[in-house]
Amino acid sequence: MKYLHLFGPVPSRRLGVSLGIDLIPQKTCPYDCIYCECGRTTNRTCERREYVPTADVIRELDDYLRRRPQLDYITFAGSGEPTLHSGIGAIIGHLKEHYPGYRAAVLTNGALFADPEVRRDLASADLVVPSLDAVSESVFAALNRPCPGLTADAVLDGLIAFSREFSGEIWLEIFIVPGLNDTDEELARLRDAIRAIDPDRVQVNTLDRPGTEIWVTPASAAALERIAEYLGDKRVEVIGPCTCREASPTFRADILDAITATLARRPCTTEDLCKIFSLHRNEINKYLEVLLEKGDIEAVSEERGLFFRLK
């Protein structure tokens, strides 16, 4: 069976060997974050609906999981916001009923948690990893560029409500963009928000590779450690670069070599590489991150988008 909605498994910095489920068309999201490594949002929306057929996703999962693969997580992620899909609760329910040995994770920006139906849909997941990058309205607007009418207060209230109802684990991600949400004032607000949400972990993160806006730069390791200390919570951890992807059983050296050879011939965008290798952009991104970390390639902004080329 050719999978249209599953991708990987991919080696993840935080989740180990992860089978991805992509429920949303490319870059359909309530946010248009300046740092997003998937590129600019082309359909900024808060409308929940069945973007892809729920039955088709379940059919693919049944076909893949009948082989009982070794996975650390089955992860709802991809190129858009997974909670926009109105069938996500049914898919998680199917996994927990028929494949209880697998852990279900949801990577989400947390924008829709003020909706009780969204909170109910995620209730049977094992792990939810929501983002909270800003608490003040001005920084939230500048950094996340949300749908009209979506406020930082509503996002925070939704996360607090979800944390009180959810019985699984919550790992709260804070993505640091220097010059925006790393001020003492904004960090103090985030510190108060962490106390109100009371997650199991707080993960401080920054750019692995170029984001939507080329001027966005990663925070240094020292800056991230300073921020973690400022937040003053033992649950806070800094998510550093992944040094173990090449040791993962799902990492394929032949794909890495083929991408390198392709970029040696001509610069390519992520979309170009997806078409060449028939891989999901999240899979391509993992290999690009390895090459960027090694210093073998660089990113350049051109009229058609962000291109990667051999140094």
Please write the tens of the pLDDT for every residue from 112-167: 999 999 999 999 999 999 999 999 999 999 999 999 999 999 999 999 999 999 99
Average pLDDT of the chain, as a whole number:
89
Q: Are 89 and 121 in contact (CB under 8 A)?
A: yes
Tell me: cis bond preceding 11? Omega within 30 of 0 counts: no
Do residues 191 and 300 both lie within one domain? no
Do residues 36 and 142 both lie within one domain? yes
Please write the tens of the pLDDT for every residue from 92-113: 999 999 999 999 999 999 999 9
Instruction: Give domain status of residue 308, yes or no.
Output: yes
C-beta atoms surrounding 243 within 10 Å:
10
Closest CA to 177 of 223, 135, 242, 138: 223
Do residues 84 and 205 both lie within one domain? yes
Do residues 151 and 71 both lie within one domain? yes
Q: Whole-model pTM above 0.85?
A: no
Say which CATH number the domain at 37 has.
3.20.20.70
Do residues 201 and 309 both lie within one domain? no
When pLDDT is cut at 50, 70 and 90, the band that residue 11 belongs to is: confident
Look at residues 220, 246, 272 and tell me which one is the last residue of a structural domain.
246
Do residues 90 and 203 both lie within one domain? yes
Look at residues 228, 246, 264 and tell me which one is the last residue of a structural domain.
246
Q: Is 178 exposed, middle or buried (0-12, 13-18, 19+ CB in 10 A)?
A: middle
Closest CA to 110 of 163, 60, 58: 163
Do residues 145 and 239 both lie within one domain? yes
Do residues 229 and 271 both lie within one domain? no
Instruction: Give domain status of residue 18, yes or no.
Output: yes
Instruction: Give domain status of residue 1, yes or no.
Output: no
Please write the tens of the pLDDT for every residue from 250-267: 677 778 887 887 887 788
Look at residues 211, 246, 281 and tell me which one is the last residue of a structural domain.
246
Do residues 138 and 230 both lie within one domain? yes
Do residues 236 and 286 both lie within one domain? no
Say which CATH number the domain at 283 has.
1.10.10.10
Closest CA to 299 of 273, 278, 279: 273
Closest CA to 184 of 151, 216, 141, 136: 136
Do residues 178 and 304 both lie within one domain? no
Instruction: Give domain status of residue 265, yes or no.
Output: yes
How many domains is the chain partitioned into structurally? Answer: 2
Please write the tens of the pLDDT for every residue from 52-97: 999 999 999 999 999 899 999 999 998 899 999 999 999 999 999 9
Q: Residue 50 is part of which domain span?
A: 6-246
